[in-house]
Amino acid sequence: MNGTTTRNIVRGLAAATCSLLGTAAALPAIAQEKHWEFDTALLYYGEDGDRVQDISLNLLARRLFPDDKILSIGFAVDSLTGATPSGAVPQNELQTFTRPSGLATYSVAAGGLPLDDTFLDTRYALTASWQQPLGENYAGTAGVSFSTEYDYTHVGANLALARDFNKRNTTVSLGLAVARDELDPVGGAPLPLALMSDVGDLSGRAGSESKDVVDVLLGVTQIVNERFLMQFNYSLSDASGYLNDPYKIMSVVDPISGQPINRPPTPGLVGPLHEYRFENRPDQRTKHSLFGQGKYYLDGKVLDMSYRYMTDAWGIDSHTLDAKLNWPVGDASYIEPHIRFYTQSEADFYRVSLRDGDPLPQFAAADYRLGRFDAITAGIKYGWQTSAGNDFAVRLEYYRQEGEIPSGQLLAGQDSDSLYPGLDAIIFNISYGFAW
Amino acid sequence: MATAERLIPLVVQRQKDHWRGEFTAMGSPCEVLSKASRSIAQMQVGAVAAEAWRIESSFSRYNSDNIVHRINTVNGVAIEVDPETANLIDFAAALYKLSDGRFDITSGVLREVWTFDGSDRVPNEDQVSAVLARVGWHKVLWKRPTLTLLPGMQIDFGGIGKEYAVDRAASIAASFSDAPCLINFGGDMAAVSADPGCMPWRVGIESLTPGTAKPFKRIDLQRGGLATSGDARRFLLKNNIRFSHLLNPLTGWPVVNAPRSVTVAADTCTEAGMLATLAMLMGSGAEPFLQQQAIRSWCIPQLHRGGSGGRTCG
């Protein structure tokens, strides 16, 4: 094929193909390559009452290179408002708390659940990853992540390696991620189990803190047949450093009556009227997690079920069962009901409150997220393809969480239902995916 | 292809916005995607499968009671062929000429000495030149409808058959309905539609990279053919030289430094497939070749060729 004949190949081939197929000249092809894929989503998460409201915007762009390399860039903005339970228990009298800044107080009416609104914040997150083949049978991915908010900065890096076996029906992957998070809590991180002090007294505060997290993941994906795909993951996560929530406190109560212990503020100062202590968690947490997922395809519908078991060094065991059914309706749309059940046991050091007169435990926290609770998520998604071939979807979900105080921790006058701050939340998500 | 499987009725299944039917032919998973009604789609799938199986049994060199087998076993005797076989031979002869001898349907006998199983078993020069004596379209006497091979020579439509079947299937599917329809035989495909404004089929070209769930490349195919030629899993490796399973009939040796994969879009699947194959046969000249052609194509180059990486060739 020298220069002169090269030019004639396409035309000569078209003529030969015409005679072979016995048809008139074919209509010209219309084919277009898409180099970029974009996934965008707007999420609203709203808890009932004055609790957390989160609006987040997520953008993910993927550049597909012709030689099997993929660049992914993600950007997210989260805007959190509202308040979250501080860990103090409701009381029959007015409660006053020093704000985390140490510069003011706020009060909660008798019988009210103590909420702390220091939580409101805006978070920006960026991720980037690069994936490419490594030799004949391997693929590597390397990525970085960064996020920042008022009192928190996260920097992370991750690596993953995947290998195919068994005519590409089996993929084994190994991943490693490391992260360092810096916390610079408002007013400084409280010293472990320190008493909440009067306004202006920052003696119980330290400066900024940090934690390191290492995650290792081992996964196997198996294509069983054309209709069935299974995936199993084992992951190990080790966090060390400052693992407390600097804004969470515990009420100190009378061991007989369960009533709060009075604490008169220093004359001339304002401060809490009762005793509260900041929490303290172990400075290390190792988690093991096993995950299994099956996707079954039947007559256009896809059933996706998964189960996760997690156990950690803090004594929390959790089980998650998740099921989705993607059901096509009409020409270019589908509905997808979703249900998820979650249950966890409490951390060994979970205390709904501290008993006055008892020696202080080494570790204690009243954070409801470390307590025993069950949660259910139920919702539905409706998705459709636009005439331009892009994907639109809306998802509405309801989340309910109900907890229980371990019976041994309840004192006279305390009851589990009013002490565990269960919650109801609504999740609404709009997503749009397009290629370019 | 087991007969039993052909007796199982081909049932179409509902996908997002189309019907899908599947079957196996020519050693590949085959599918028909149709936006026609269910009953029409059902008929399209049945007719397409029947045509694919007919072409497979008529022209497979593994079949012992077809025209190819007769041609390959008459040992130098002139043989008269049917019009369809004659069309395929005419096409092969045109390709031989267009490719300056690189595309040659008589090159199949080279497989007697070359087995591409990822090993390092490379034959010696003598073995190759002995077989090469029985290769070369110019040694064949073809005067439609009569074909005369030299004794020991064979022909093989393996490089044409699947793409030909895809185009035949596409025109059969189009005879049932004007609705958009996509024929996909193991990655070689053709889209037909009477409506030039129809929603394109999203074609994902499979990544060769392990663990890559998503396709590395997405092509919106509204109309026309798309075919891929590659040696991802069929090659020999010796002294760090990767011998592709594509053999150069002029030398009897494999093409070296061909891209790992070439995908071409053209008006028909046959043209796309032939251009992809011709590009692969150019070895390291594949990308310049594709650039010279005014066609849309995509290459995945060899990994060891360094950092420049692959690119959209044309």
Residues of B within 8 A of A297 (CB-CB) are: none
Q: What is the ipTM of this complex?
A: 0.87
> Mean pLDDT of all residues in chain A?
90
Min mean pLDDT across A214-223, A238-247, A365-374, B286-295 is at: B286-295
- The answer to whether residue A431 neighbours chain B at the CB level (below 8 Å) is no
Residue among B88, B99, B300 minimizing CB distance to A20: B88
Cβ neighbours of B36 in A, within 8 Å = none
Among candidates B22, B210, B293 on the partner chain, residue whose Cβ is nearest the Cβ of A9: B293
Interchain pair B303, A300: CB under 8 A: no
Given a contact cutoff of 8 angstroms between Cβ atoms, the answer to whether A130 and A71 are in contact is: yes
Burial class for B141, CB neighbours closer than 10 Å (0-12, 13-18, 19+):
exposed
Q: How do residues B83-114 score in pLDDT, each as one tens digit?
A: 999 999 999 999 999 999 999 999 989 988 88
**Contact A300/B15, CB-based, under 8 Å?**
yes
| Closest partner CB to B296 (pick from A21, A31, A226) | A31
Q: Which residues of A touch B303 (CB under 8 A)?
A: 133, 135-136
Question: CB distance B293–A10 less than 8 Å?
Answer: yes
Tell me if A232 sits within 8 A of A172, measured CB to CB: no
Q: With a cut of 80, say whether residue A415 has pLDDT above it.
A: no
* CB contacts, 8 Å: B262 with chain A: none
Please answer whether residues A428 and A44 qualify as being in contact, where contact means their C-beta atoms are separated by less than 8 angstroms. yes
pLDDT band at B133; cut points 50, 70, 90? very high
Question: Which among B17, B300, B303 has CB closest to A331?
Answer: B17
Q: How far is A80 from chain B (nearest CA, A)?
A: 33
pLDDT, one tens digit per residue, over A100-157 is 888 899 999 998 899 988 767 899 999 999 998 887 778 899 999 999 998 999 999 9
B9-26 pLDDT, tens digit each: 677 887 767 889 999 999
| Residues in A touching B168 (Cβ below 8 Å) | 21
pLDDT exceeds cutoff 70 at B310: no
Judging contacts by C-beta atoms under 8 Å, the chain B residues touching residue A15 are 94
User: Which pLDDT value is given to residue A5?
Assistant: 47
Residues 92-121 of A with CB under 8 A from B: none
SS (H, E, C) chain A: CCHHHHCCHHHHHHHHHHHHHCCCCCCCCEEEEECEEEEEEEEEEEECCCECEEEEEEEEEEEECCCCCEEEEEEEEEEEECEEECCCCCCCCCEEEECCCCCCEEEECCCCCCEECCCCEEEEEEEEEEEEEECCCEEEEEEEEEEEECCEEEEEEEEEEEEEECCCCEEEEEEEEEEEEEECCCCCCECCCCECCCCCCCCCECCCEEEEEEEEEEEEEEEEECCEEEEEEEEEEEEEECCCCCCCEEEEECCCCCCECECCCCCCCCCCCECEEECECCCEEEEEEEEEEEEEEECCEEEEEEEEEEEECCCCEEEEEEEEEEEEECCCEEEEEEEEEEEECCCCCECCCEECCCCCCCCEECCHHHCEEEEEEEEEEEEEECCCCCEEEEEEEEEEEEEECCHHHCCCCCCHHHHCCCEEEEEEEEEEEEEC
CB-CB neighbors (< 8 A) of B274 in chain A: 13, 17
Contact state of B217 with A27 under an 8 Å Cβ cutoff: no
Out of A122-136, A328-342, B95-109, B295-309, least confident range: B295-309
Q: What is the pLDDT of residue B313?
A: 45
pLDDT band, very low/low/confident/very high, at B227 (cuts 50, 70, 90): very high
Partner residue facing A33 (CB), from B13, B292, B312: B312
pTM to 2 decimal places: 0.73
Q: Is A33 on the interface with B (CB under 8 A)?
A: yes
